[in-house]
Amino acid sequence: MSKHLQRELESLREQLVDQCTVVEQMIQMAVRALVEGRTDFAQRVIESDEGVDMSDVKIEEECLKLLALHQPVAADMRWLITVVKVNGELERMADTACNIAERAKAISEFPLFNVPEQMNEMVDVTVRMVRRALDAFVTHDAKMAVEVIKMDDAVDQQNREIIDYLQEFMKTDTSVVEPALHCFSASRLLERIGDLAENLAEETIYLVEGEIVRHKHGVIGDVAREPNA
């Protein structure tokens, strides 16, 4: 690998790490806006999205330029392909965080409505998924990526429980229908962030192991084993 390409790849890595940091902060602020009623956090999330969009385009253009100019092979090509995919997932995470922030602002207009307690647990698990998925990608830790994928079932279950609770709640008190629907939407969006974190984890496994594990979670335990295990 030429020194020039090495410098370009390192610069691209730094840009992507910065994007990871911004998106993780957006998600954390969005969920705090949701469970704590912090509309100021919600507004900051929404205002951050333009910067993420600009970085998204810049990173993708840089990847395409490096692929065209240097025609990398083997590990470098796999890394650039993964960066393109991860970059897209990060942008979608940011958009979803903005949607959660919008739902948080809408719910705040109903001060007597309380977000279900189950939402706090779902938030905790989802944020852990995101943090571990990003850490796994940055550190090339396929084992951590496998753990992230396995966490998604818990988020899916929590989403179903919250939706069931809200449906029953709306039947007993029609005055809560509007905020409950916003909360319903927020829960679905949280579940979507969990799915995106899972996608990030899958791309990390591809980066490290060269194994495409999408749609193969039934055999995920075969990935990232210790040698001679």
Question: Nearest Cα to 104, choosing from 203, 214, 186, 205?
Answer: 186
| CATH node for 3-222 | 1.20.58.220
Q: What is the pTM of this model?
A: 0.89
Nearest to 52 by CA among 60, 41, 64, 42: 60
Q: Taking a C-beta distance cutoff of 8 angstroms, is the pair 118, 162 a contact?
A: yes
Q: How far is the CA of 26 from the CAs of 5, 84, 98, 108, 193, in angstroms?
A: 32, 21, 8, 18, 12
pLDDT at 75: 85
Query: Among all chains, which residue has been given the structure tokens 């791309």?
Result: 203
Local confidence pLDDT in tens for the 229 residues of the chain: 578 888 999 999 999 999 999 999 999 999 999 999 999 999 999 999 999 999 999 999 999 999 898 888 788 888 999 999 999 999 999 999 999 999 999 999 999 999 999 999 999 999 999 999 999 999 999 999 999 999 999 999 999 999 999 999 999 998 999 999 999 999 999 999 999 999 999 999 999 988 888 766 655 555 555 443 3
Q: What share of the chain is helix, strand, coil (3-state, %, to 5)?
A: 85, 0, 15
- Distance, in Å, from the CA atom of 228 to the CA atom of 58, rounded to the nearest integer, reads 42
Task: State residue 228's pLDDT score.
Answer: 39
